Chains A and B, each alone.
Chain A
């Protein structure tokens, strides 16, 4: 029995050795045209269904709103009314009479400010609360109450404090988006496996190295969950806040359109708000994916 077994092994071993280089010389790569065809197919599978749904919904909308006396305009009228706004987003007639690009960029700037502040402060506070039991006991109840306050409820208070619309809007964004960042960061820090802490202890990392090399990478998936929720909330809050503070910004654009009964403009603005919100969400998600690559599964 033993003899035959060894013999088989020897026989199979020899051809394997000669086959190996041949395999290496012919890399398995499908022809280029085929790869493109497959890519096109994959894109089509993703793109066509939503396009069909959108087309159907637009058709229904058109049919419903077409009748005379309808309160809302059909898509064809929306397009006709907002032609100028769509094709020339960069005009600037002074005051708040600007193209949609300027309104969106003003809103985005406020979000960028407020959100950056809340990301920095949120991660810092989250680390504190996650790391220190006493900080958690002291601060967590406070956070749990504060985070339930609706964004706009903060606006009068911040207007009273800052006496200006711009910083108030930024503050509203900050206070709205900071809670999920704090809470998720804290959970991430608390969930750092004891093993990693032990490794750091044996290697004798100092607190700063521990923060940079263990804490942040280990908690990164949680932190990015918080950041992603935060950016969504920021965008929700800014539109509402701008309606009240006025000036240039997509929120006030909508409010202004309502006051002048330009319903088509409202619909167009909503469309843009949705698209920008979606892009922001994807940006943070993509950033998170890039930063936490390889760390998700252990």
Chain B
């Protein structure tokens, strides 16, 4: 088993004045190429901090992130992020938002026409070509997130980082988008790391689910393999015993052994 992405003894301590808070403690994880891994935990457990460390947006206090055996500690397009609230630039059109990344990443390797075609190809993957000249304020939340995904995909990242990508969407749109992401993963074989707090979403999409204990000093409590074959169908899984067992397992972890402490 070769590690594609490796989180190596990551600790994170926030210091404000004299007070220090240990957010993450000794996080170790290896992810293989093409794997879909979810990180689940209660809010405040530091899962977003962990994603920011992997993305290079925040530095780890000790330990590090290795991508293909090379340490990465600054942000880059090889670890493109789909942000929770889409983070599209409102003054750019859908097309321009995707193009922004493409122009930087492929500045030397692709010609103008190729970059244009590549942007359209990625918009097509998320079925958003029809809105190419619209501004983010003119499209729905689900569409924005699709564009966010297209923007990340268009950078051809080695690892796609999803930061609660469906958290701000209504249930129907969320299901629809989850199916889209599953289809994309199937088609493109990306390595995906997703932060979520939705148990069903984690079980449905992931190959492995990483469950985090409550902070402060959050650790990886348990890693669960989801041995469901792909492609997975939402409706069929509703009665699938493996699915239900996995779901049960995660629920037990979150609500029995590591119940959310209000005071924290």
Contacts and interface: CB of A to CB of B under 8 A. Distances in A.
Interface stretch (B29-37, B86-94, B210-218, B241-249): B86-94
A196 B89 contact: yes
B104 A213 contact: no
A39 interface: no
Nearest to B89: A196
B104 A294 contact: no
A214 interface: yes
A37 B90 CA distance: 37
Contacts of A209: 104
A297 to B, nearest CB: 5
Contact of B55 (A195, A202, A292, A298): A202
A213 B89 CA distance: 9
Interface string A187-226: 0000001011011011111000100011001101000000
Interface in B36-89: 55-57, 75-77, 79-81, 83, 85, 87, 89
Contact of B89 (A202, A204, A217): A217
Contacts of A214: 89
A199 B87 contact: yes
Interface centre among A198, A199, A214, A220 (most CB of B within 10 A): A199
B114 to A, nearest CB: 18
A203 B81 contact: no
A294 B100 contact: no
B16 to A, nearest CB: 15
A196 B87 contact: yes
B88 to A, nearest CB: 8
B132 interface: no
Nearest to B97: A199
A198 B90 contact: no
Q: Which of A203, A217, A218 has the most CB of B within 10 A?
A: A203
A295 B136 CA distance: 9
B262 to A, nearest CB: 27
* B contact patch SS: loop
B91 A198 contact: no
Contact of B137 (A193, A201, A202, A298): A298
**In which size bucket is the chain B interface?**
20 to 34
A217 B93 CA distance: 13
Nearest to B83: A195
A294 B75 contact: no
Given A199-B89, A214-B89, A217-B91, A204 B75 contact: yes
A295 B90 contact: yes
B77 A202 contact: yes
B174 interface: no
A205 B104 CA distance: 7
Given A195-B87, A198-B57, A198-B83, A203 B137 contact: no
Contacts of B91: 217-218, 220, 292, 294-295
Contacts of A203: 77, 100-101, 104-105, 155
Contacts of B100: 203, 213
B135 interface: yes
A285 to B, nearest CB: 18
A294 B77 contact: no
A201 B55 CA distance: 10
Contact of A198 (B87, B105, B136, B137): B87
Given A198-B83, A199-B89, A295-B90, A204 B135 contact: no
Nearest to A198: B57
Contact of B75 (A193, A201, A298): A201
A214 B80 CA distance: 18
Contact of A294 (B56, B80, B87, B135): B135
Interface string B123-153: 0000000000001110000000000000000
Given A203-B101, A294-B91, A198 B81 contact: yes
Most buried by B among A195, A214, A292: A195
A203 B157 CA distance: 11
Contacts of A193: 87
A209 B75 CA distance: 16
A241 to B, nearest CB: 37
Interface of B: 55-57, 75-77, 79-81, 83, 85, 87, 89-91, 100-101, 104-105, 135-137, 155
16 contacts: A195-B85, A195-B87, A198-B83, A199-B83, A201-B56, A202-B57, A202-B155, A203-B101, A204-B77, A217-B91, A294-B91, A294-B137, A297-B137, A298-B90, A298-B136, A298-B137
Question: Which 5 A-B pairs have CB atoms at the shortest separation, nearest pair first?
Answer: A195-B87, A201-B75, A295-B91, A217-B91, A294-B135
Given A196-B89, A198-B55, A199-B83, 7 more contacts: A195-B87, A198-B57, A198-B75, A202-B80, A209-B104, A214-B89, A297-B137
